[in-house]
Amino acid sequence: MKTEDEVRFVSIFNKYDKDLYTYICAKIGGDSETAKDLLDDVWEVLLQKFETVAYGEDYLKGWLFQTAENKVRNYMRRKSTTSEIPMEEELLMNQIAGMPFSDVIERLAMEEFIQSLLPIEQKVLLLRMEGKSYREISRSIPRTEQALQCIHYRAVKKLQGMMVSEPKWC
């Protein structure tokens, strides 16, 4: 970058850094470390496209916030497809303590089947098992109600297929 461009970039950085950070942090639920990483990504994109980005004040501000929105959206998509639901072993042990052995085996097999589903399928299935509606689930998972119904249907079909193909324990 030229000296003039460096001065301009620093000026833009100083003007929008705090606002962009606050915006990103609010969008992702307050995770400051992730917000800092995403903000760094926004500044990196600006550096890469600095020569081609229009210099109008309104356009630049909108471009920065739209870039931040895109980074947040991509992060949330990755997060929703890669997050796993932790299995709390102590809770599981308390639940199966008084169960007959055959029920324990079936329960453990079902847990294994559920763990083999995609993380989003696990999450939707377990939330539905808790009695949550698709509308309630859509508030915590960024998908439409129809998409969640489809995900739940496919998860149930996969589980049915696994139970039919796996031999029953004696």
Q: For residue range 76-110, list pLDDT tens digits in order.
A: 888 776 545 444 555 555 555 666 766 666 666 77
- Contact between 68 and 42 under an 8 Å Cβ cutoff? The reply is yes
Q: What is the pLDDT of residue 144?
A: 92
Q: Which two tokens stand for residue 76?
A: 């949330």
96: number of Cβ within 10 Å? 16
Q: Provide the strand spans (E) within 22-153.
A: none
Q: What is the pLDDT of residue 151?
A: 92
Residues in the chain, pLDDT under 70: 1-2, 54-55, 57, 81-99, 101-108, 164-170
Q: What is the pLDDT of residue 114?
A: 81
Those residues with Cβ within 8 angstroms of residue 45's Cβ, 6 or more apart along the chain or in another chain: 67
Q: What is the pLDDT of residue 97?
A: 62
Q: What is the DSSP letter of 118?
A: -
Query: What distance in Å separates the CA atoms of residue 47 and residue 34, rounded to the nearest whole number?
Result: 20
Q: What is the pLDDT of residue 54?
A: 61
Q: What is the pLDDT of residue 169?
A: 42
- Contact between 120 and 80 under an 8 Å Cβ cutoff? The reply is yes
Those residues with Cβ within 8 angstroms of residue 81's Cβ, 6 or more apart along the chain or in another chain: 118, 119, 120
Where are the alpha helices (H) located in the chain, listed in sequence order?
A: 3-27, 32-48, 57-82, 89-96, 101-115, 119-129, 134-140, 145-165
